[in-house]
Amino acid sequence: MSKIIRIGTRDSELALYQAKAVQSQLQALGHQTVLVPLKSTGDIVLDKPLYELGITGIFTRTLDIAMLNGDIDIAVHSLKDVPTLLPKGIVQAAVLKRGNVRDTLLFKNNEEFLGSRDATIATGSLRRRAQWLNRFPTHTVVDLRGNVNTRLQKLEDSDWNGAIFAAAGIGRLDLRPEDAVNLDWMIPAPAQGAIMIAALAEDEETLAILAEINHQETEICTKIERDFLNKLEGGCTAPIGALAFIKDEELTFEGILLSKDGTKKIQVKRVKAVGEHHDIAEWCANYILERGGNRLMDELKESHVPTNIYSTKSLTDDQRFLFNEKIKAESSDFVKISLNRIHPRFVKNQIENVVITSQNAVEALLNNFSAIELQFKNIYCVGRRTKKMIEKRIGKVLHTEKNAKKLAEYLVDFMEGTEVTYFCSDLRLDDLPSILKENNITVNEIEAYQTKLDSINIPESVEGVMFYSPSTVQSYKKENDAKGIAFCIGETTAKEASKHFDDVRIAKVPTVESVIELVNEHYT
């Protein structure tokens, strides 16, 4: 193959290990490859809404988009993290030979607590939690999140008796303690331990190459497990386990569905000869559904999940779609905008230097005038989305910065002339006009729109709030105490939030989607 195969992967230690395993097999066959680690969806431009593409998995979404955009050729995933329905245009091209499928118990001192009435076990998996409580109903199960190293450190620093990990993950990173115990009684997640490679359906050359490293037995077994999961309509919100394996020309399948607290359990086991196994997933799923599974799935779907994230700006359906399964987000506009009438005298003649710091100001200008009436020689703005909007509807932007302060500093050093016209809100930060005036630049402020603070009291269950401007922080404080985490769109917003919140986090890119990514990282 003449081209270099670009292997997309998440940038975690485990994900990179898995991508390198794929890279090694491809290079052994003589193919040139390069790893492309990806982290944030914030900078990725979407040509279509995510719902049209069918992109759902929080752990796979970034790579799916990158592949559809042509930035990578293939994507490497833990198959258990991949949604059962792939996005349009993407197919499963291969799976490597499966690793250890089991869940593993790591404990602090010894295993004596297994026989005790009271013990504390940590896991972030609903499936593991439910099966543990079904077997040890008097034990306490606490939440455990983060990457493998983070979870291991949390176990070390805690007073828990133990924690449950995927054997494949800790094994691949060579972090498995000698005394760790495989939980052979616990049915693993569908496709646990399997590494999957996705590619574009139309890329026949790459598909042919990946077929050479596909492990057929693993493909057969994981497909059955995922078909079972899909038939039950389950995902991360339902405690579902599935395991298929082949031995002596026979395929054995075990499946389980539980209530979240482990008090209810429906289990199935079936053995079929290889070659006669094609209906085994559907048969086992129907067996579960007919014996109370339908009712149990309905209870799981209807169980109340409290709101844990609140956005101070109304989110679109596409944006809501970006949150991972552990998050229930609500939103409303804490700041309402009213566009002002701008007198024609302000734009009658060509203006040499114009400053615009928000999309609201652009909307106000276009609400009053046609683009041809806006004869601006040099336009300076804040934010790439504001820039995109100006250039699409008004004219070329000479320079843009991430925030008003940086823009003011740039204007002091590089702007031609000694006067600017600033289209702003009635509520605005003083940084830009103050810096300019201190440097003998005249600022003509034109109030293009008004900002009204309109907050509501948010639920007690909220653990984090998303902020998009200093005004949203100010509005929030009118009705609420500062508690939990402040997820902020940029440094200026974070500066205001830090006056009230102890834990303030800043998105990598000043977009709503990047703030959502920041929230997802906290709950991963």
HEC string of 139-201 equals: CEEECCCCCHHHHHHHHHHCCCCEEEEEHHHHHHCCCCCCCCEECCCCCCCCCCCCEEEEEEC
Closest CA to 520 of 236, 240, 302: 236
For residues 203 and 93, the answer to whether their CB atoms sit within 8 Å is: no
| Fold classified for 216-303 | Double Stranded RNA Binding Domain (3.30.160)
Q: Which CATH number fits domain 336-453: 3.30.930.10, 1.10.2020.10, 3.40.50.2000, 3.40.50.10090?
A: 3.40.50.10090
* CATH of segment(s) 1-96+194-214: 3.40.190.10
SS3 387: helix
Active-site position among 64, 71, 73, 81:
81
For the question of residue 81 being annotated catalytic, the response is yes
CA distances from 157 to 107, 162, 231, 250, 335 (A): 12, 11, 40, 45, 42
pLDDT at 39: 67
pLDDT on residue 430: 77
How many Cβ atoms are within 10 Å of 251's Cβ, its own excluded? 22
How far apart, in whole angstroms, are the C-alpha atoms of residue 505 and residue 509?
12
319-335 pLDDT tens trace: 888 898 788 898 988 98
Identify the architecture of domain 103-182 in CATH.
3-Layer(aba) Sandwich (3.40)
Residues 6+ apart with CB under 8 A from 128: 103, 164, 186
Per-residue pLDDT of the chain (524 residues), as tens digits, is: 468 999 999 888 888 999 999 999 999 999 999 999 986 443 343 343 333 333 345 557 788 888 988 999 999 999 988 888 888 899 999 999 999 999 999 998 788 888 888 999 998 888 999 999 999 999 999 888 777 888 899 999 999 999 999 999 999 999 999 889 999 999 999 999 999 999 999 999 999 999 999 999 999 999 999 999 999 875 546 899 999 999 999 999 999 999 988 999 999 999 999 999 999 999 999 999 999 998 888 877 766 568 899 999 988 877 888 898 788 898 988 988 889 999 998 888 889 999 999 999 999 999 999 988 998 999 999 988 899 999 999 999 999 998 889 999 999 999 999 999 999 988 777 789 999 999 999 999 999 998 888 888 898 889 999 999 898 999 999 999 999 999 999 888 999 999 999 999 999 888 899 999 999 999 87
Ramachandran bin of 328, using left for φ above 0, alpha for ψ from -120 to 50, beta for the remaining angles: beta
Q: Do domains 309-334+454-523 and 336-453 have the same CATH topology?
A: yes
Domain boundary assignment for the chain: 1-96+194-214, 103-182, 216-303, 309-334+454-523, 336-453
> Which pLDDT belongs to residue 455?
85
Domain 309-334+454-523: CATH class, spelled out: alpha beta
The string of DSSP codes covering 55-113 is ---TTTHHHHHHHHTTS-SEEEEEGGGS-SSPPTTEEEEEEPPP---SEEEEESS-SGG
Q: Closest Cα to residue 254, out of 131, 339, 341?
A: 131
